[in-house]
Amino acid sequence: MSLDEKTAAAPAAEPHRRTPVPRWLLGVGPLVLIAILLGLFSLLNAPGLSKLSEGVPPKEEVAVEDIRLTPGQIAITVRNEGPDRVSIAQVNVSDYYALFTQTRETMAPLESTTLTISYNWVEGDPYEVALVTSLGGKIPADIEAAALSPERGSSFFGLMTLLGVYVGVIPVALGMLWMPFVRRAPASWVRVLLGVTVGLLAFLAIDATLEAVELVADNGAFGGPIVVFLGAVAAYLVLEGTDAWMRRHQKLSATSQPATLPPGRLALLIAIGIGLHNFGEGLAIGSAYAVGSLALGASLIVGFAIHNTTEGLAIVTPLAKQPPGLARLALLGLIAGSPAIAGALIGATVYQPALSAFLLGVGAGSVAQVAVKLIPLLKDRTEKTLTAPTTIGIILGLAVMFATGLLVQA
């Protein structure tokens, strides 16, 4: 056999194979490079760009977050919303420069400070307060009518708990007393009641969104109104993902439509959505009372009770044909109503506008998700959703919530 034939008969050498790069390294690698680049950019103080800020005065943007009045003192909490550091140098109260102390001499971006001002204010009088920065800027923090802020003791927390029970737990429980009526109602009436439920949930979503946006309309810290929509979208997606997981866990068909959701699960979703909304409502009530801007009269409590009673009806309506036991109903009522207690306690102690707006957005997204889940249940025998009865029900739900909402304007 010739040399060429031997070479042709020899097995071909296998090509050299490189060890594959781990998948996690391919994902982490770009992040590490970005971090190194940003670190160098920061350490070198943005080479070539430092002259851009020459001759440009610092930008001072400060928002007032809280005002508390105690005998002989005014405590004001402010937050730096701008990109530059801010220092409060003077405090002017109705053309009088008052002595003050503060928890932080200089505020970096997004930092806050609480100023304690020595001033013998008179109850009921208005005061024009101006915080003067080291650069001469003025931050208004006016007080329409001076009133003593409540002490945060055991009696105060007891009052907040009682308030949460009055406006959350009791109204929802009263609304759930419609259960016997819903059970005996014909199918056409149940569709009308489901329309009412969709209407009131839609109103709650819109109302919570507008209230949250108003909270941070003049406060750009942490993104301003964007936190409201982030909270709403996050809540909607979490509930959708949870529902999908429950479907897989229970081995439901992948092609199942929302209408196949079990009544018990729909009632639970409604209770969760309403509970998150009531948490935001309690948060607003507690924070308003803590700063002395909420008059806790009997008429206001009655207004809240009437306004929130319809929420109980929304919970029991999907259970028309499959009523649960009393223990399950009690649990649903607590899920929907008790968050108002937690909201009132938190709002009265650690109130922060951006956080409150975010949580209100969470409530809005939650009830919106539940409303979408209910829409397929409005179909009649001809598979039409927006029939005359269901449309009337939706409009009636919106109208009832609007009318009862007029009773709780604080």
Q: What is the pLDDT at residue 317?
A: 83
The three-state secondary structure class of 321 is coil
**Taking the CB of residue 210, how many other CB atoms lie within 10 A of it?**
13
Count of alpha carbons within 13 Å of 118, Cβ hemisphere only? Answer: 4
pLDDT of residue 113: 92
pLDDT beneath 50, residues of the chain: 252-259
Q: How much is the pTM?
A: 0.70
Nearest residue to 263 (alpha-carbon basis) of 334, 315, 187, 308: 315
Domain boundaries, the chain: 62-140, 154-408
The pLDDT of residue 294 is: 55
What single-letter amino acid sits at 147?
Answer: A
pLDDT value of position 293 = 57
In 119-184 the beta strands, taken as DSSP E runs, fall at 129-133, 138-140
> Which CATH number fits the domain 62-140, given the four candidates 1.10.10, 2.30.110, 2.40.50, 2.60.40?
2.60.40
Q: Calculate Rg over the CA atoms of the chain.
A: 30
Quote the CA–CA distance of 231 and 236 in Å, as a whole number: 9
Determine contact, residues 72/117, Cβ cutoff 8 Å.
no
The pLDDT of residue 261 is 67
**Predicted pLDDT at 296:** 52
Q: What is the pLDDT of residue 22?
A: 79
Cα distances (angstroms) measured from residue 134 to each of 29, 58, 105, 137: 45, 11, 11, 7
pLDDT for 276:
81
